[in-house]
Amino acid sequence: MELATPRPPVLDLLRRERLVAVLRGADADALTAATAVLAANGVRLIELTLSSDAGLTALRRVAADRTLPPDTVLGAGTVLTRDQARAAIDAGARYLVTPGVTEEVLAEGVDQGVPVLCGALTPSEAMAAVRLGATAVKLFPAYAVGGARYLRDLRAPLPDVPFIAIGGIALDDIADYFAAGAVAVGVGSPLLREAGTDSSPAALAALAERARAYVAATSAER
């Protein structure tokens, strides 16, 4: 029997792929369909948020889908509690994402050996996240505090912290965030748009086109 090729750690994947798709919505069918389209069009890191029960349902479905590209890496976002972290890991999440410095989620991730991408906005929060075991720090919401310029200033005293910029990132913003030192960008509504609630062929075709554009834009900066 041929052994599966070991997958690289999540931080290495972030540095290599440079793109995380963030899917949020209340329709599990639409989220499941959107995940399949993103994976088929080159998006390797996909985060399904737990802001509704649909996110966990979709995560469980797509984690069991053997037709997805084998290098697709699924994560759970908006993880707020230890119980949510456990449920997400049981459903197939290979990484967890928090909107802020959530100590119990970080502790569960460390206990289970599952990477946590921890939300932070200030130097104190970023330092706390790293101290508690975060694999990377999610700068969120990036656009609301000055975007790439703020990230550049934040990294000046924290040059070794791996930052992922998330929040309102359009295609034209990607080069600026990478120039400011982001290891990756996370993209939610600018990428997903209507595909979070609409799984019609037209909506999925438009999603596929946007996915290819974001993959191309991030690939150009590798």
DSSP 8-class letter at 167: S
Query: In 71-191, where do the E strands start and end?
Result: 73-77, 95-98, 116-120, 136-139, 163-166, 184-187
pLDDT digits (tens, 9 = 90+) for 34-91: 999 999 999 999 999 999 999 999 999 999 998 899 999 999 999 999 999 999 999 9
Is residue 47 annotated as a catalytic residue, yes or no? yes
Q: Does residue 3 form part of some domain?
A: no
Q: Does residue 66 form part of some domain?
A: yes
Instruction: Tell me if the pTM is above 0.85.
Output: yes
Q: Does residue 60 form part of some domain?
A: yes
| CATH classification of the domain holding 141 | 3.20.20.70
Question: Could you say which of 2, 47, 194, 221 is catalytic?
Answer: 47
According to DSSP, the residues that pair with 93 across neighbouring strands are none
pLDDT digits (tens, 9 = 90+) for 182-215: 999 999 999 999 998 999 999 999 999 999 999 9
Which residue range is the domain that position 147 belongs to? 10-219
Question: Could you say which of 2, 17, 125, 138 is catalytic?
Answer: 138
Is residue 103 annotated as a catalytic residue, yes or no? no
Helix (H) or strand (E) holding 23: strand 19-23
Q: Which of 78, 84, 89 is nearest to 51 (CA)?
A: 78
Total number of domains in the chain: 1
51 burial type by CB count under 10 A (0-12 exposed, 13-18 middle, 19+ buried): middle
Q: Does residue 2 form part of some domain?
A: no
Q: Does residue 1 form part of some domain?
A: no
Q: Does residue 182 form part of some domain?
A: yes
Q: Does residue 169 form part of some domain?
A: yes
Q: Does residue 5 form part of some domain?
A: no
